[in-house]
């Protein structure tokens, strides 16, 4: 099936080449980090995780979000998603690989990464996170590959593939739950120590993942002859709307508990994010942008006329992606470390090398995604007899 990936337009090759350049830059800067140490990042003793781990968190959500097309199709036999489950699965593959790369580039001693397997430690959530992510990756590769080759041959896929597809559904929930547990079980980190963390993670994942998938579907429709179908796009829009409403609701619950109880530890990180703490206001514009964009997204997604209009739906989806990214890919980690254990504020901002490495990882993910999508679409076009 890979032969589908080596025949493409100039635009396709140009895009891949562009990604390769970014990957090369990222890799070069990573070598610099490898030899100099993580001091080239903005992280410090007090904010000891930063942009890398934040992207891991966000992308686990994207990976889990793919289940929002897999679930209706396999569990409810929702036919309209039949054409795009493969896109959800391949998005999950690319996202999980990015997650793993982000963990890897964050390690101080990357050459020892196998210690996690050599000395398995079941009481560590990181051990479980690596386990569930690896299994989820495998599930998606196996299911995606087999479904696609069956489609190519024009035969139904085997029974066991369907069993694995069923398994992948709760598994998607598990990857993001376990990722939330990385944070939600740490004593003394007030912003993270909340029982609703996993639920918040899932709701934002089920908004952002399908929103991204919806945009990808529209791009695919534009650049290829494969049409994901109006109904699929419309249903995705509805899923994004519901999940995002729940996500915003969960966040408001956090606000209530913090500010009605008036417990300083609960209020401080949120104050830091939205009003600044001890004069440190650098995240404030970001968080208010996220809030404003979230409101725009909510309106566009809730009002039926704008949700059904593809142009405004696209804007709504972009709004969801931007606001959940600021919330999870930026605010969550920094506010978890702020104030620090001594009630002080140590500012953190990613450095240029840190950004370039991150861009390199994103480029790697998009490279994999592009190649996989190219393959899937090639086969779908062939099956539909259009090529």
Q: Which residues contact another protein (rule: CB under 8 A)?
A: 36-39, 41, 43-46, 48-49, 103, 106-110, 112-113, 115-116, 118-119, 121, 123-127, 130, 182-183, 186-189, 264-265, 336-337, 340-344, 346
- Work out how close the CB of 111 gets to another protein at its nearest, in angstroms, rounded to a whole number: 9
User: Which residue in this structure is represented by tokens 């639920």?
Assistant: 199
- Work out how close the CB of 28 gets to another protein at its nearest, in angstroms, rounded to a whole number: 19
Longest dimension (CA), the chain: 66
Our CB check for another protein shows the closer of 127 and 286 to be 127
Distance CA 374, CA 383 (A): 14
**CA separation (Å) from 120 to 116, 137, 327?**
6, 20, 32
SS3 at position 280: strand
Our CB check for another protein shows the closer of 40 and 368 to be 40
Do the Cβ atoms of 75 and 383 come closer than 8 Å? no
> Which of 63, 93, 58 has the alpha carbon at shortest distance from 358?
58
Do the Cβ atoms of 181 and 325 come closer than 8 Å? no
Distance CA 191, CA 208 (A): 21
- Work out how close the CB of 335 gets to another protein at its nearest, in angstroms, rounded to a whole number: 13
SS3 at position 346: coil
Our CB check for another protein shows the closer of 57 and 140 to be 57
Q: What is the DSSP string of 282-318?
A: TTHHHHHHHHHHHHHHHHHHHSHHHHHSHHHHHHHHH
Do the Cβ atoms of 1 and 376 come closer than 8 Å? no
Q: Across-strand partners of 280?
A: 277
The sign of the torsion formed by the CA atoms of 90, 91, 93, 98 equals: positive
Our CB check for another protein shows the closer of 99 and 298 to be 99
Our CB check for another protein shows the closer of 49 and 373 to be 49
Our CB check for another protein shows the closer of 186 and 295 to be 186
- Work out how close the CB of 36 gets to another protein at its nearest, in angstroms, rounded to a whole number: 7
| Cβ atoms within 10 Å, residue 384 | 12
- Work out how close the CB of 375 gets to another protein at its nearest, in angstroms, rounded to a whole number: 34
Distance CA 123, CA 336 (A): 22
Our CB check for another protein shows the closer of 112 and 153 to be 112
- Work out how close the CB of 33 gets to another protein at its nearest, in angstroms, rounded to a whole number: 10
Our CB check for another protein shows the closer of 162 and 280 to be 280
- Work out how close the CB of 255 gets to another protein at its nearest, in angstroms, rounded to a whole number: 21
Q: For residue 337, with 0-12 CB atoms within 10 Å meaning exposed, 13-18 middle and 19 or more buried, which class applies?
A: buried
- Work out how close the CB of 380 gets to another protein at its nearest, in angstroms, rounded to a whole number: 40
């Amino acid at each position: 099936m890979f032969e589908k990936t080596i025949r493409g337009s100039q635009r396709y090759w140009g895009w891949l080449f562009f990604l390769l350049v970014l990957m090369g830059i990222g890799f070069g800067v990573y070598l610099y980090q490898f030899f100099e140490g993580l001091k080239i990042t903005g992280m410090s003793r007090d904010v000891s995780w930063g942009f890398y781990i934040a992207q891991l968190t966000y992308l686990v959500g994207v990976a889990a979000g793919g289940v929002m097309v897999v679930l209706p199709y396999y569990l409810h036999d929702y036919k309209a998603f039949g054409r795009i489950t493969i896109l959800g699965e391949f998005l999950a593959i690319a996202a999980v690989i990015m997650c793993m790369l982000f963990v890897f580039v964050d390690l101080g001693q990357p050459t020892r990464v196998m210690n996690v397997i050599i000395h398995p430690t079941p009481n560590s959530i990181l051990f479980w996170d690596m386990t569930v992510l690896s299994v989820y990756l495998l599930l998606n590769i196996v299911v995606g590959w087999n479904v696609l080759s069956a489609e190519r041959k024009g035969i139904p896929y085997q029974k066991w593939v369907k069993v694995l597809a069923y398994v992948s559904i709760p598994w998607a929930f598990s990857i993001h739950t376990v990722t939330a547990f990385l944070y939600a079980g740490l004593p003394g980190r007030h912003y993270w120590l909340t029982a609703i963390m996993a639920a918040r993670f899932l709701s934002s994942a089920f908004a952002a993942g399908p929103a991204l998938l919806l945009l990808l579907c529209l791009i695919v429709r534009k650049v290829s002859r494969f049409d994901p179908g109006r109904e699929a796009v419309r249903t995705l829009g509805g899923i994004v709307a519901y999940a995002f409403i729940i996500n915003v609701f969960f966040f408001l619950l956090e606000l209530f508990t913090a500010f009605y109880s008036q417990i300083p530890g609960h209020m401080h990180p949120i104050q830091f994010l939205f009003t600044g703490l001890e004069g440190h206001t650098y995240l404030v514009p970001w968080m208010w942008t996220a809030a404003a964009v979230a409101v725009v997204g909510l309106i566009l997604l809730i009002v039926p006329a704008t949700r059904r209009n593809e142009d405004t739906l696209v804007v709504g989806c972009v709004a969801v992606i931007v606001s959940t990214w600021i919330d999870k890919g930026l605010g969550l980690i920094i506010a978890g470390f702020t104030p620090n254990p001594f009630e002080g504020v140590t500012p953190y901002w990613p450095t240029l090398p840190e950004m370039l490495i991150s861009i390199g990882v994103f480029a790697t993910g998009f490279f994999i995604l592009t190649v996989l999508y190219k393959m899937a679409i090639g086969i779908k076009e062939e099956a539909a007899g259009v090529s």
